[in-house]
Every structure is written in C-alpha cells, then in structure tokens.
Chain A
Amino acid sequence: MARTVSTRHKAIATVAAWFIALLIFFPILYTVVTSFKTEPEAIAGISLIPSGTFENYVEVQAQRDYFKPFMNSVIVSLGSTLIALVIAVPAAWSMAFSPTKRTKDILMWMLSTKMLPAVGVLVPIYLIFRDTGLLDTRLGLTVVLTLVNLPIVVWMLYTYFREIPGEILEAARMDGASLMNEIIHVLTPMALPGIASTMLLNIILAWNESFWTIRLTAAQAAPLTAFIASFSSPQGLFWAKLSAASTLAIAPILIMGWFSQRQLVRGLTFGAVK
C-alpha cells in the first residue's frame, strides 16, 4: 500500500515537474516558433504552427551585422566572469574559513548593493565612464558587469566553500602548503562543481544583462542585448523579426547551457543533500 502511494506521489510530482518546466520553457519556445512566422501571422493570435518562413532571419542578417555584437557578448561575459572569479575565490575562501564577527555583515552589505535599482546610479557611472574613456568599450562593459555580478559570485562560492571541511585545508597547511597552494591545489579541485556552476550562471547573467549593456555602449561595444533591442519598432510590425533576432541572440547561451547542464545541476545542488 505504502509503495502504491509512493508511486502515485512520484507520478504527480513528475507531471507537476513537466508542467512547470514547460511553463518556464514556453516563452522561449514561442519566441522560436514566432521567428518562423510572417509578420501578420505573428500578431494574428496565439498559434504554435508557423508558416515556416526563413525570411525574418534573412532580413535580420541583412539589416544588422550579427557577428560583431556576438563577439562583444562572448568577450564581455567571459571576461567579466573570469575577473569576478579571480576576485571572488579568495574573498569567499577568507569568509568561509577565516570568518570574523563582521563576515555576515559584509556578506549582507555586498548583497544589499543588488537591492539598489540600477538606474539610481546611471548618471554617476556614466560620468565616470565618460571621464575615463570607458564609454562604448568592451573593457568598460567588462568592468561594470564584473561589479554587477560580483556579490552573487561571492555568495555562491561562500556557500559552496562552507560545505568543505576546514580540517582538510588544515591538513594541507600542516603538510607545508602555502596559502596560494592551498587555494589552487586543495580548495579549488574540491569545490570545482560549485565554481563551475557559479561560472556558468555568471556567464548567463552577463550574457543576458541589458540595462548597462544598452546604456553604456553605442556602435563599438554593443552586445547581443542591444542587437535585439534594435528590432523593436514604434511604427510598423516587428514581432517576427524581433523573435528571429532574439533566437539568434539566445541560441549560443542555450546551447552552452544544454551541454553543461550536468555540471550546472551538480553545482547548484552541491551540499543540498548530506
């Protein structure tokens, strides 16, 4: 009897999981479907059957160069992620293994910077970028995305590092490992799933960030978010072309997510079950 109930629960849970997954995936699916519709079809009503036209992709490619914003997205998201990890790994190590009475406060303060609406600091940052010549540069965008995502990276790594027994690091120290060796050769391999998932999540966040990437760039450093935004039109039909542009923009990150899903899930559930 108990087994029957358990099976029923499993079935319900599976159906619920599929439903939620489809619900979450539906906007992406519909964007892809819409990209293969004509403009009148795109606004005619909800339908999952497109006419199968590739015209929007041709038009999108004819109107704007895809490669330049794509490369900007790749460089900026990878660059900001690497810099964030270089800063965050030692910071999280310090807070996880040598905490002080202010560690919790510092962590909360770091997180609180995410609570400020970005537009609140737009003008000061814009002025700093203007005076330092960072407007519309990949370097400027890399710096700002590093800073924007750093609190999340530190928090995630801190959580993963706390799951690692401090005694192992102590043993390494007793064997004569230097601080750098301890972090690079002992801590990092043990926390690799956590670091990998943090890295992947940060790449996704940087790839999708649209507030700063649109506002701090013009023609040179604009990434794919600006590429998508350029297809919205005040007068005329644009949903199908916008969907094609969105599909092209999200495809690389979707593919990356697909291939690294095992690593992502392993990292995100790291330490969840003891």
Chain B
Amino acid sequence: MKLHPILVGACSAMAFVGAARAETVTIATVNNGDMIRMQKLTDDFTAKNPDIELEWVTLEENVLRERVTTDIATQGGQYDVVTIGNYEVPIWAKQSWLEPLTGLPAEYDVDDLLPAIRGGLSVDDTLYAAPFYGESAMIMYRTDLIEKAGLEMPDEPSWEFIGEAARAMTDRDNDISGICLRGKAGWGENMAFLTAMANSFGARWFDENWQPQFDTPEWKEAVQFYVELMNDAGPSGASSNGFNENLTLFQQGKCGMWMDATVAASFVTDPEDSTVAENVDFALFPDAGTGNHGNWLWSWNLAIPATSDAKDAAKAFVAWATSKDYTALVAENEGWAAAPPGTRTSLYENPEYQEAASFAEPTLAAMNAADITKPSVQPVPYTGGQFVAIPEFQSLGTTVGQLFSAALAGQMSVDDALAQAQQVATREMKRGGYN
C-alpha cells in the first residue's frame, strides 16, 4: 500500500481546511440598546467579510470593565475588540494596551467624527478607539408642568432658575417631583453628575499641583445646592437612584425635570415606553454664571487590545460598526431615530435624522458645549468632564460618591462629607505619588 499519496492528500486537505477556516473575532461588550441592535445587524458584516466570524461576550458594565482590565493587563488575549469608555481610552493607550487605529479606509472619513469625541479618543493625535455612540448631558423637562408653573425654560438656564423651577413644579400630592437627579453612589453614577455640576459651579477636583479642592467654596456651594434642591424638590429615596431609576420615574410622569445623559432623550420621547413622550423638551446643562455647562462627554467605543491575534479582522469590524454605512443600515432597518447618536457630524447634518429625532439639535448643542480638555474654568492638570482621567478615579470617585450619597440621604452633613472627601482624596493622591 502506498502511503505517500495518501499522506500528501491528507496534508493538502488539512491545509485547505486551515486556509478555509474563518478567522474569529471575539467582541466584549455591554448590554444596551445600541449594542444589541449592532449584534442583530452583523449579518451585513459577515456577508461582506465571509472569512471573519464574530463571537460576542456581553457583560454587565462594571464586570466588563474589570474583566477586560484583567485580561489586557495580564495579556490574556481573550478579546479582539473591547467596548470601553472614553475614560479608559487615553489611560490604556498610554500603557500601550491598545492598538492604534491607523490605516482606516478613506471612506471611513475620520474627519467626520465629532471633534470633541475624537479628541477624547486620541493620544498624540493618534486615534486609539472608534466611537460607537456618544453622549453629553442636558436637561429634559416637562413642557406641560413648567407651563403650569408659569415659567419658561431658557435655552441656557442658570442653576438659580433650575432651583426655582424645580420647586415650583413639585406637586407632592400627585407624586410629582420637580427634579430627578442621580444619587446612587459610584464614580459613574452620582459622581458623574456631581462632577459635571461642580464644574459648572467653577469647582475643580485638583489644582495644578494635584492638591484636592473639596475644601473650596465652589464645591461647598455646588454640593449644598444639590442636597437642598433634592430635599425640597427631589423624589423620596433619591440616594438610591441612578440613570435607570430616574429614567423610569421620568417616563412614568413623576419628574418635572431630569438632567442626565443625552442618550436618554430617545427613551423619554418614545411613546411606547414613555407616558410623557408628547410633553418633553430639552435645554442645555445649566451653569452658575461661569459659562461652563458641566463638560459631560461620554462615548462607548470599540478598541482593539494590543494582545489580539486577529488585529486586521478586528479593525475591519471596528471600521464597519462605526462607519457612516452602518448608520445608514440602522436607519434602513429601524428608522433614523435609532441611529447611534453623538459620533459623526454628518448624522446631525442629515435632514432625515433631524426630522426623525427631535432631540438631535439639543444633543449636538450639548456635545459641542463640552470640552474635556478644560473641565473647569480654573486651571487643572487633568482632562475629563464628568470624570477625571486618571487611573485612581474609579476607586476615589466611588468613595467620594458614597460620602455625597450619605449627605443626600441625611446621614451626614454636607460639611462633613466634603471634609472627609478632602481627607480621602489627599491620602489617595499621596499614595498614587502625585504629591
């Protein structure tokens, strides 16, 4: 029996199978509406790229962050594409954990990305992640309730006006709170809002020498205003409320105003889920005469870990998922209002999108008002808006958030919360070698 031809045949067959086997791209992501929609539309990508297979790992936001951090820091190489926020991108890029997104095809049109978003995802002018959707923060308010209160919302309201309007719109007998704001402790929960609010009051987390600034009058004024406003016009149990809880309250008609991520605009104006969809309008995040509107800027982005062994395939997927064509694909399948917002200038210039999404203009105005290179009107050594872009911020922000949440719940005074925040931050910055 001649073995030689059989061996040659077997080897050829194995080589053929090897060559024909599709390259697998493993994508780690969070569970939100836009990401789920993307997963449903990936047939378009696999049809155009038959040699690439996609596998999804969907996790809760904090677990995803921890999981991906562990994998990248230990060079585990489990993921080829990761969904991360603009908080992580510059920090991870500086650690050389992310693959630079160079060499994207010309039709991708990098210059079409909103400048504020693109700036937050670049280090030394090199893009390290592609934005999937972006958001700022703005005021969502009930037109019927503000009219009933005899007031008119300015395009750029001050905190003073917000305080007056919230108290006037509060109707405890009918279970309506004038204002709903985040109170649940966490760096991405109450501290996202309070940091933006403090920015608008002229406060800053650190001075140029990384000295914490919670003992300044600006922080005192901001936190005192927040606690008093929520006590007078906020819902009960506000110290447990985050984005989802406030979304629910607003959709059920129990809030006169809500200040939060612009992405919520599509939820509160959706008549299927919101009982107040017909009576919602928007305004810019307030300021306290500083001209600073909080500088809240967040984006969920797709990045490629440096440890990926399928970088080219991963880049092809990232380019597809964040392209203009993908936006058009979403519009074709689910309408323009469902297009992922806050990443591309062309979307906001599109008349069909403007017509379908009543929140398009205020969203763009909010995003254009945010400048994460100058979070505060005072000089600062960091970038960021509703966060401080340093690795220590996750734990520090959460600890400070617990103190402010306790102040909101009445478990400690604002002065005590600020004094303890100052102590904690001073200790953490010393430990981190900042001063």
Within 8 A of A (CB), among B62-91: 63, 66-67, 70-71, 74-79
Instruction: Tell which of A16-24, A97-105, A164-172, A225-233 binds the partner.
Output: A225-233
Also in contact, A226 and B74, with CB within 8 A (given A40-B273, A234-B30): no
Cα distance A220–B70 in the bound complex, in angstroms: 18
The reply to whether A235 and B263 contact each other, CB–CB distance below 8 Å, is yes
The reply to whether B78 and A235 contact each other, CB–CB distance below 8 Å, is no
Q: Does B185 contact A (CB under 8 A)?
A: no
Instruction: Tell which of B53-61, B340-348, B349-357 binds the partner.
Output: B53-61
Chain B residues whose C-beta falls within 8 Å of the C-beta of A63 in the assembled complex: 36, 39
Chain A residues whose C-beta falls within 8 Å of the C-beta of B60 in the assembled complex: 229-230, 232, 234
Cα distance A188–B26 in the bound complex, in angstroms: 46
Also in contact, A233 and B30, with CB within 8 A (given A130-B76, A219-B55): yes
Chain B residues whose C-beta falls within 8 Å of the C-beta of A130 in the assembled complex: 74-77
Within 8 A of A (CB), among B252-275: 252, 261, 263-264, 267, 273
Instruction: Give the Cβ gap from A56 to chain B, nearest Cβ, in Å.
Output: 14
Also in contact, A235 and B33, with CB within 8 A (given A135-B76, A214-B63, A229-B59): yes
The reply to whether A123 and B59 contact each other, CB–CB distance below 8 Å, is no
Chain B residues whose C-beta falls within 8 Å of the C-beta of A232 in the assembled complex: 31, 60-61
Residue of A nearest to B58 (CB): A230
Chain B residues whose C-beta falls within 8 Å of the C-beta of A231 in the assembled complex: 31
Instruction: Give the Cβ gap from B251 to chain A, nearest Cβ, in Å.
Output: 7
Cα distance A236–B243 in the bound complex, in angstroms: 8
Most buried by B among A122, A136, A219: A219
Also in contact, A218 and B32, with CB within 8 A (given A127-B74, A235-B263, A237-B248): no
The reply to whether B78 and A218 contact each other, CB–CB distance below 8 Å, is yes
Also in contact, A237 and B78, with CB within 8 A (given A218-B57, A229-B59, A230-B59): no
The reply to whether A230 and B55 contact each other, CB–CB distance below 8 Å, is no
The reply to whether B76 and A219 contact each other, CB–CB distance below 8 Å, is no
Within 8 A of B (CB), among A130-157: 130, 135-136
Residue of A nearest to B39 (CB): A63
Chain A residues whose C-beta falls within 8 Å of the C-beta of B78 in the assembled complex: 135-136, 218
Q: Does A43 contact B (CB under 8 A)?
A: yes
The reply to whether A122 and B70 contact each other, CB–CB distance below 8 Å, is yes
Q: Does B28 contact A (CB under 8 A)?
A: yes
The reply to whether A233 and B31 contact each other, CB–CB distance below 8 Å, is yes
Residue of A nearest to B31 (CB): A233
Instruction: Give the Cβ gap from A45 to chain B, nearest Cβ, in Å.
Output: 10
Q: Does A222 contact B (CB under 8 A)?
A: yes
Residue of A nearest to B249 (CB): A43
The reply to whether A126 and B70 contact each other, CB–CB distance below 8 Å, is yes
The reply to whether A235 and B244 contact each other, CB–CB distance below 8 Å, is yes
The reply to whether A214 and B244 contact each other, CB–CB distance below 8 Å, is no
The reply to whether A235 and B261 contact each other, CB–CB distance below 8 Å, is yes
Cα distance A95–B260 in the bound complex, in angstroms: 61
Instruction: Give the Cβ gap from B331 to chain A, nearest Cβ, in Å.
Output: 20
A interface footprint on B140-156 (CB within 8 Å = 1, 0 otherwise): 00000000000000000
Instruction: Give the Cβ gap from A166 to chain B, nearest Cβ, in Å.
Output: 48
Also in contact, A219 and B244, with CB within 8 A (given A235-B33, A236-B32): no
Cα distance A250–B234 in the bound complex, in angstroms: 38
Residue of B nearest to A64 (CB): B58
Cα distance A215–B252 in the bound complex, in angstroms: 37
From A218, A226, A234, B243 is in contact (CB under 8 Å) with A234
Cα distance A222–B247 in the bound complex, in angstroms: 31
From B30, B56, B59, B247, A237 is in contact (CB under 8 Å) with B247
The reply to whether A215 and B67 contact each other, CB–CB distance below 8 Å, is yes
The reply to whether B32 and A222 contact each other, CB–CB distance below 8 Å, is no
Cα distance A136–B60 in the bound complex, in angstroms: 18
Cα distance A218–B307 in the bound complex, in angstroms: 15
13 pairs, CB–CB < 8 Å, chain A vs chain B: A126-B70, A130-B74, A214-B63, A218-B78, A220-B55, A226-B57, A230-B31, A233-B244, A234-B30, A235-B264, A236-B32, A237-B248, A238-B31
Report which B residues bind A (CB closer than 8 A): 26, 28, 30-33, 36, 39, 55-61, 63, 66-67, 70-71, 74-79, 188, 243-245, 247-248, 251-252, 261, 263-264, 267, 273
Closest 6 CB pairs of A and B: A230-B58, A219-B55, A232-B60, A234-B61, A218-B78, A233-B31
Report which A residues bind B (CB closer than 8 A): 39-40, 43-44, 63-64, 122-123, 126-127, 130, 135-136, 214-215, 218-220, 222, 226, 229-238
Q: A40-B251, A235-B32, A236-B247 are in contact. List 18 more A-B contacts (CB 8 A).
A: A40-B273, A44-B252, A63-B36, A64-B58, A130-B77, A215-B66, A218-B28, A218-B57, A220-B55, A226-B59, A229-B59, A229-B60, A232-B31, A234-B61, A234-B188, A235-B243, A236-B33, A238-B31
